[in-house]
Every structure is written in structure tokens, then in C-alpha cells.
């Protein structure tokens, strides 16, 4: 999916403190592998905050590689709780 730029994030912090429950998408997701999406800018919060996600692999996704890189990625902290993370070029 080389032209995919944005994964819409349905997670909304405004739900807390209201009567509306947060939207739950893929509540049992354990593994996610994303490949060849060089224009994809970020992963949605509902994926990053998923407590069942154990494996995340990102391959050949330049923008995601920069954002979630363990050494210098601005959003590494958002995925650091995931047991097995691979972020690299193939």
C-alpha cells in the first residue's frame, strides 16, 4: 500500500468524563505487521494503547521507522510497552 498516508484514529480522549464510552477497535489484536507503506505518517492511538498487542513489526515504512525508532524516534515511548518490536528496513 505505497500510497497510504493516514490511518484514521477513532480514539478520542474527550470520551472520558462523559457518558459516551470510548470506541474499541480490534480489542484482541496480538500481532501487527506493517510493510511497504512509505507515506504512512503514524499509527493510531487505539493500536498503540492496545494492551493485548504483543508484537509490532514495521518494515520499509520510512516515516514510521523514523517516528518509532528505539534510539531516536519521537514516539518510541508510545510503543515501548510492546514485548516484541521490530522497526527496520528490509
Task: Domain ranges for the chain, please list them.
Answer: 1-8+30-90
Residue by residue, pLDDT tens for the chain (90 residues) are 666 666 666 555 554 555 555 667 777 889 999 999 999 999 988 888 888 999 999 999 999 999 999 888 999 999 999 999 999 876
Q: What is the pLDDT of residue 14?
A: 52
Q: What is the pLDDT of residue 32?
A: 95
Cα–Cα distance for residue pair 70/29, rounded to 1 Å: 22
Q: What is the pLDDT of residue 48?
A: 86
Three cell numbers written together for 78: 508510545
Q: What is the pLDDT of residue 72?
A: 87
Q: What is the pLDDT of residue 89?
A: 75
Q: What is the pLDDT of residue 47?
A: 84
User: pTM (2 decimals)?
Assistant: 0.76
β-partners of residue 31 are 55
Non-local (6+) Cβ contacts of 81 within 8 A are none
User: Is the C-alpha dihedral spanning 22, 25, 30, 33 positive or negative?
Assistant: negative
Amino acid at each position: 500500500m505505497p500510497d497510504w498516508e493516514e490511518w484514521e484514529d477513532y480514539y478520542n480522549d474527550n470520551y472520558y468524563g462523559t457518558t459516551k464510552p470510548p470506541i474499541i477497535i480490534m480489542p484482541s489484536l496480538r500481532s501487527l505487521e506493517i510493510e511497504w507503506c512509505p507515506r504512512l505518517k503514524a499509527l493510531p492511538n487505539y493500536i498503540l494503547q492496545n494492551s493485548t498487542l504483543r508484537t509490532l513489526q514495521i518494515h520499509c515504512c520510512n516515516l514510521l521507522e523514523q517516528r518509532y525508532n528505539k534510539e531516536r524516534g519521537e514516539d518510541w515511548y508510545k510503543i515501548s510497552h510492546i514485548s516484541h518490536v521490530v522497526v527496520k528496513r528490509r
